[in-house]
Structure 1
């Protein structure tokens, strides 16, 4: 049985509870019972198991009948009609996407039902039981023992439901309806440039908790005072008021007691004399123990400050240049969505090999393994909300979906030292509605976490009177802490041999990150440097672009697009693309392209000059 545990700590001053009552936060390091493994599944293209023939949801009826898949019914006798059978159906691995596990489902977008039977070892009816999902893409309807626990939307963020009221010691079953159909009013929307992997794509875990437990916590370095740890602890349960809570950091000889208020919340403030600050060159993590009368959790937390001063990004008060790379959450070697710590080690190991101290996790929240490992490796991280290209800016429900996913991301990773930037969006077209939408997201983010920086991947363009002069004309640039933009001169327009003549006219006194640039190349295809799709062409673009970008006075970092080739249905050109975005520096077979070594050399020489 796999043991899981409860998450991290880094800091958020006066962060309010993101959710009411029964949501379990910071669960990564908490011991739990894994439900990973093989689950039976039924493909339900017509959604027969969810709707009756009048197109009414079965789970909204008092008498749903045998057609409701979540009941997991068996015929009572040889004449009883039940037109499905999970136990006779095929199985697939969870976590994992269905596209890469079953050839017939490679292009499938729709509804698929999962079912897993389980017993609860050491079942204790004095405990509270939670069912936690790392992520399900996109909509998940969750049922245990025939009772609906709830619905979650959002393909890349964690969620859980309490199931104490329906659980028993033996013969339990969980059924999950997963629907990954794209829709115009969802986040992301219909149009993206990555594969829409469907399924239960991250860990599934059962947690047994005390009647009153530690629901959430944040402990981090105060953004103004580097000798003060601040944060909060939230208890959940009927006896959460006036409860004793201790914070212990053995290495710092800290053992401080607190008392919760009437709402079960503790405001934490702990002076420290000497700290070994977390950084990209010194990824120091402290063991932090939080204990109440009925619960205890342990986390590994780094303490650091991140800020800006004019056009500089400051880490613990010192200027830092972000030598980065963009990453999609795919294991190209195996194929499919990345989900394991082993996957994270491959991706972040490649980034370290490049010489990176920074990664942009595009274009959605990646697995928690990625930021956990980044904490250990000393990689600074940009995390992004999946507000991508064009969504329904005027739709209030769409905004709520975007805000919910952003809140879930911040809640999960608020204690990670590696995370320094929250990104609101990528390449979104300008309008007043879009500006209001993104500004509200930024306002929400600052309210929840005022200790990190805010950015978004914007776009540049050439001036009409002088195409060699590039500008960023976007009202949202005034809102962000770090001005970031994608630029593809030499690939999407512009002469690659003219890159050396390009200059950016930016009069804002803010740090600049070039959040994307690059060119496609089929690994192994060699030609002269002016032949598109060749490794030589991609390499030439890097060799021309890097020194040109370095001339931007406010430049504080770059994240070229992208670490590795990734699947995209938009990329159809045969033989070069064949369903892959080829802008990776590493192929889907793990082979480095010529531009990989050019960027590696640039970062190495940049480090020598610092």
Structure 2
């Protein structure tokens, strides 16, 4: 099992980091070959290729282990497994949508890919990189185990011993197990489809022996709103994969701003501060990105980074020192018309394009980190992002092991995207039931998130006290003391009462912080029309939105936005009405074929009003 090593380093007064020891960031800018495409597979529900008949893990050299070759040494050798072109799956991609027999499958599938690789003449290091595998991945190359990773939505990589990589006939095997577990993150009970498989890109990465592993370059908070009064400063750090030699230097370049700064590497992780005169700040109305080059004598990496500040101050959220109202929508990482997990740039363009058509300047990427193409495209489009780990509902809050699993996913999410200007909120969970044990668990995650990155807001979807007084609901979840943004989910008119209940309901929070509605919504089957009292009709959903929007117009003055549930209908095994759901959560404003429901136009009109009220943040 790969051991996760966390190293905390206080870098500046405004930025701390805890970086995963071996995760290489900005993989798109590295020298890679794609291992996407057609993979052979073996279905193994009893995990025969992993355990012996006493249920002990097979030894590496045992020929019946499915990570070993299926080719007989001679005709007498016993082989009870085999990979064939008759059984193939496409990578990236979940297995559920590729074969009818896998729609509900939860268990183990072995993936196998053969490839050739001509090494460079120079002295290099080699890594296998996976954008995501759901849920547990055991990685083997040419019969040798490289490592294991848990977590279905975050990236990981393993170094390949140079002697193991062959010019021809490499035999890569990935054991993928998507079984749900009580002590996993997420846990047994969720309201989304458990898509299994190698769901994001697989790449072979070639790096120099000494290379830039990770870096952060972000605008210092203290300069928000100081246009012209002081020169803004970017600060952060560069992390090398090695202890630097004496006088080894790191160069930071931003050509458009005519900036080229050389710093001496003081350790494996070196802090930096860069003056940014005449910088144009990133915002939804002007999503300016700069080419940034980070280099050493041995390595060079290029990125596109936007510079902006974000903070919760009093009752407001300030973007570049100005109030931000978030016209949001919650999104699942799913392409409904294909009934599959989203992974590509085309998928990101569909989902974010639909959000823009609605009038959004914000998306909540629920309930797990989405593919990196989403956050990078959001950078380009000027859409702010709430990014979340799948600490969802009834996690085992009393388990130290579960807490470490959650921290590992939090770390991988932040490490991958800490240079994305669009990401303004790290969320540590959703609708977790209040208890002292749960609050301590969640507080630990919040503390860890701030140690990794305190330039962004930290939040979670909190619980609501619906018994605080007549017609008044108060968000007084004790976790609110520790978050920057007080966010909550509410479904008045869908769960509990009818939509007209909104007419007499008011909201408040016991915390002097910005208030954000992270979910609200009602189900409707597109094309089903009836009177407004009929559940699952478009008319009922439209009535729900009309009443909700009227209620929103009398929210308290710390109300800073909303991300209704949800952009599009999505698959869920919990939704089993045989007429209106059929395994779909129907709260989408788009249906599973991309058709807009009546409620879409009501929310779009409300967002047009709010855009006029906050014109500086289109």
TM beyond 0.5: yes
Q: Name the counterpart of 1:228.
A: 233
> Within 2, Cα distance between the matches of 1:302 and 1:296?
19
1:300 correspondence with 2:304: yes
CA contact (8 A) 1:460 1:470 kept: yes
> Within 1, Cα distance between the matches of 2:245 and 2:203?
25
Per-residue deviation, residues 445-501 of structure 1 (Å, max 9, x unmatched): 1111010001110122422652x2111231101111110000011000023222111
TM-score by length of 2: 0.94
CA contact (8 A) 1:42 1:89 kept: no
> How big is the shift at 1:336?
0.6
CA contact (8 A) 1:484 1:512 kept: yes
Q: Name the counterpart of 2:514.
A: 511
| Greater Cα shift, 436-445 or 456-465 | 456-465
Per-residue deviation, residues 293-312 of structure 1 (Å, max 9, x unmatched): 11111000000000122111
Per-residue deviation, residues 355-408 of structure 1 (Å, max 9, x unmatched): 000000000000000000000000000011110000111110000000100010
Q: Name the counterpart of 2:200.
A: 202
**Which of 172, 182, 185 is the matching residue for 1:184?**
182
> Within 2, Cα distance between the matches of 1:53 and 1:517?
50
1:345 correspondence with 2:349: yes
Matches within 5 A, 1:396-411: 396-411=400-415
Match of 1:207, SS? strand
CA contact (8 A) 2:446 2:458 kept: yes
CA contact (8 A) 2:256 2:291 kept: yes
Gaps (5+ residues) in structure 2?
1-10, 225-231
1:258 correspondence with 2:256: no
1:16 correspondence with 2:17: yes
| Greater Cα shift, 366-375 or 455-464 | 455-464
> Within 1, Cα distance between the matches of 2:535 and 2:465?
22
Match of 1:439, SS? helix
CA contact (8 A) 1:533 1:576 kept: yes
CA contact (8 A) 1:455 1:482 kept: yes
> Within 2, Cα distance between the matches of 1:448 and 1:214?
18
Per-residue deviation, residues 221-269 of structure 1 (Å, max 9, x unmatched): 11113510111111113655642211110000001111112x3322211
Match of 1:599, SS? helix
Q: Name the counterpart of 2:462.
A: 458
> How big is the shift at 1:219?
0.8
Q: Name the counterpart of 2:49.
A: 49
**Which of 76, 92, 96 is the matching residue for 1:95?**
92
Matches within 5 A, 1:317-328: 317-328=321-332
Alignment root-mean-square deviation, CA: 1.5
1:603 correspondence with 2:607: yes
> Within 2, Cα distance between the matches of 1:512 and 1:241?
51
CA contact (8 A) 2:17 2:453 kept: no
Q: Name the counterpart of 1:289.
A: 293
Q: Name the counterpart of 1:7.
A: none
Q: How many residues are matched?
A: 594
1:152 correspondence with 2:172: no
1:244 correspondence with 2:249: yes
1:371 correspondence with 2:375: yes
Q: Name the counterpart of 1:495.
A: 498
1:419 correspondence with 2:423: yes
Match of 1:83, SS? coil
Q: Name the counterpart of 1:28.
A: 28
Greater than 3 Å deviation, 4+ residue runs: 11-17, 121-125, 237-242
> Within 1, Cα distance between the matches of 2:86 and 2:235?
52
TM-score by length of 1: 0.95
> Within 2, Cα distance between the matches of 1:488 and 1:350?
23
> Within 2, Cα distance between the matches of 1:496 and 1:224?
44
> How big is the shift at 1:338?
0.4
Matches within 5 A, 1:164-183: 164-165=161-162, 166-183=164-181
Match of 1:18, SS? strand
Match of 1:120, SS? coil
> How big is the shift at 1:89?
4.8
Per-residue deviation, residues 145-203 of structure 1 (Å, max 9, x unmatched): 11000000000000000003321222112100000000000000000000000000000
> Within 2, Cα distance between the matches of 1:240 and 1:199?
42
